[in-house]
Amino acid sequence: MAEMLVSVSLCVAASLIICIVHLVQKWRNPKCSTGRLPPGSMGLPLIGETLQFFSPHYSFDIPPFLKERIKRYGSLFKTNLVGRPVIVSTDSEFNHYILQQEGKLVELWYMDSFMKLLGDQVLTTSASLSIHKHLRNLVLSYFGPESLKKMVPEVAEMARQTLHFWSTQEAIEVKKSTEDMFFDFGSRKLFSFDLSNSTENIIKNKFADFWEGLISFPLNIPGTTFYKCLKARENVLKMLRNLIKERRNQPKRIKGDFLDKLIEEMEKEGAFLTEEAIVQLIFLLTFASFETTSLTLTLAIKFLTDHPQVLMALTDEHEAILRSRETADSAITWEEYKSMTFTSQVINEVLRLSNVAPGIFRRALTDIQVKGYTIPAGWTIMICPQTLHFDPSKYKDPLAYNPWRWEGCGANTWSKNFNPFGGGMRLCAGADFSKMLMEMFLHFLVTKYRWKRIKGGEIVGNPATSFPNGFHIQVSEKK
């Protein structure tokens, strides 16, 4: 009897081992029915190569995760991230092509953590291309060039007040302080945010918790970053829903903000916008209006601190603007803003080096043939802007911070060789708004103030760029 039990146990164990080996082999060697997959590794079962992808790196160079695989496999390789099969592309021609194929060969896609945190609504799916186009036009009607002209005095006042406050402090942490500034301004334009309102101030604090979970492993267990961010999102959405209900119950809406415009659009006959879609859109725009812009401006101030010759050239441009006025203290104008050529180059170079978003994601709607390989339908395609932005054939000495490389490129430099704001029909509608906020702020910073580094400033990518120790400076008025 004992011998029989041992034999049965051995048979069961052997069967389990065979099954596990089979499943591991199947995981590591996925099949493609219409061709062959690009080379690469799927990593460990379930987690793939997620741990390697999130490994921190301490320079602006291409992350080791990408650099090692490009060297081994070439510009196109397969992997698995947070449980999803992914084709990573660092090929500039293919990337440009894919960004033009939304609704045809690919659809907008995010990793699972993105989809759960951003909301799997019509706002983020490719089934809604016509809706997306309409929403994009709505955003541009409020944050496009004509509207930006009218915002110049408000942006100038934002910069003046912020910098005056900074100059009264012994030190400020730049990322947090610029985050506060852009959140206050952006949310005021979006839904008339009031800093003195305690409920709306909670929204601001919850948004601060949100960013960490966007590219985390989607493990919804108490104590994890993802769980904390999901809870933060739920709280923000609840507050926004209450805000919209209050606004709709008002007999006359006179705020004049973007929320009023959306509610007006929703109440038109045959409108596609729902109250929940407005909640999701306001949530996304509020987040986009401060997080990436504050990081880019923080990096700009860091680069100016580290490169005095760039700071000198930037200061010369803005002091020339002051000298050209009939009255030195007159208000800044739209024409003066549009004349800030070198300032635009400074921001472009920051955007090239920073790569705030580690990837642009699409999902294949059908099998896609490229360079003798097949990307199967349903697989995620990850486009990597940083490999393009550090390509020595496109940018001489790519690791150097050199704003002069943009001379002669003009204000609109977005192309297949430079896509910090995405590409194709999903090119960020708020790109001009973000650039104006940053460039106008730099105008007042370099003409009215000086600063020195107090501590911090070290940069880590894991994979998004961050300041683990902050970046602390002391600001003082120029005499």
Check the annotation: does 229 bind a ligand. no
Give the other-Cβ count within 10 Å of 69's Cβ: 21
C-alpha torsion angle, residues 19, 23, 28, 32 (rounded to 10): 120
In one letter, which amino acid is 387?
T
Task: Report the sign of the C-alpha dihedral through residues 26, 29, 32, 33, in that order.
Answer: negative
Residues 6+ away with beta carbon under 8 Å from 340: 317, 318, 321, 439, 443
Task: List the one residue out of 112, 256, 269, 136 whose CA is nearest residue 190.
Answer: 256
Residues 6+ away with beta carbon under 8 Å from 338: 411
Structure tokens at 75: 């510009």
Tokens 């104590």 belong to residue: 223
Task: Spell out the alpha helix ranges (H) of 250-307.
Answer: 258-266, 275-306
DSSP string of 432-467?
Answer: HHHHHHHHHHHHHHHHHEEEEEEEE---EESSSEE-
Cα distances (angstroms) measured from residue 111 to each of 124, 218, 381? 12, 9, 10
Q: Find the angle CA(438)-CA(133)-CA(240) to the nearest 5 degrees.
A: 65
Annotated binding site: 428
Annotated binding site for heme: 428
